[in-house]
Structure 1
Amino acid sequence: MKWQEFKSLLAGLGPDTPLGRVVSIRAEDDAEVLKRFTKEQHRIRNEWQEKSASSMTQQQYDAEMSNLEALFASMCS
């Protein structure tokens, strides 16, 4: 599968899919939303942050988060 096709399919995933839910958990930064996370949601988010922090710079992390935000924003429009 070519990258463009994969990106197109990935962009079509909604937040009501298992992958969409995991991505939204990993990307959440709102303190009020984080307070309402379940133990499992915190585990998912923390594991992702630990893995990401150990393998990328802060600049790379910020760029990736911006990309995810743009992806979800485009899915909602």
Structure 2
Amino acid sequence: MIEDYDLIVSSFQSQYGLRLSREIHKMSWTEFKQMLVGIDNKTALGRIIAIRAEDDKEVLKTFTKEQHRIRNEWKEKHAKVVAESISKQEMDTAMDGFKNAFLRMAGLGGD
């Protein structure tokens, strides 16, 4: 969210007419979250989120190089965050589960 701060500020201004630098201290966290969730795709943030979230292959074929760059950077960053959040123990447990499943599929037992 921090990396999107400028997009958030711009989008609040364009959609709600609010200057966050002046209004944020008057707003509760709940109100801020509700307004952020309500940002539409006509705002800068909404357009970027739509690009990042697009998975339709037909739509992706129409993307510009810049749209692909935005989407790919987001996907890579998200994958890295997910990978870093998984502990070694969780990874070992998951890998053991995969190993056992493949052994069972091959008729070799696996536990």
Name the TM-score class by shorter chain. Answer: 0.5 to 0.7
**How far apart, CA to CA, are the structure 2 residues paired with 1:51 and 1:11?**
21
Q: 39-48 or 5-14: which moved more?
A: 5-14
Aligned-CA RMSD value: 1.3
**Residue 4 of structure 1 aligns with which residue?**
30
Give TM-score, length-normalised by structure 1. Answer: 0.68
**Residue 67 of structure 2 aligns with which residue?**
41
Structure 1, unpaired ranges of 5+: 58-77
**Residue 23 of structure 1 aligns with which residue?**
49
Pairwise CA distance, 1:13:
1.1
Q: Which has the higher contact order (CA 8 A, sep 6+)?
A: 1
Pairwise CA distance, 1:27:
0.4
Summarize deviations over 1:16-69 as a string: whole Å, max 9, x none: 100000000000000000000000000000000000000115xxxxxxxxxxxx
Larger Rg belongs to: 2
Structure 2, unpaired ranges of 5+: 1-26, 84-111
Q: Identity of counterpart residues, as a percentage?
A: 63
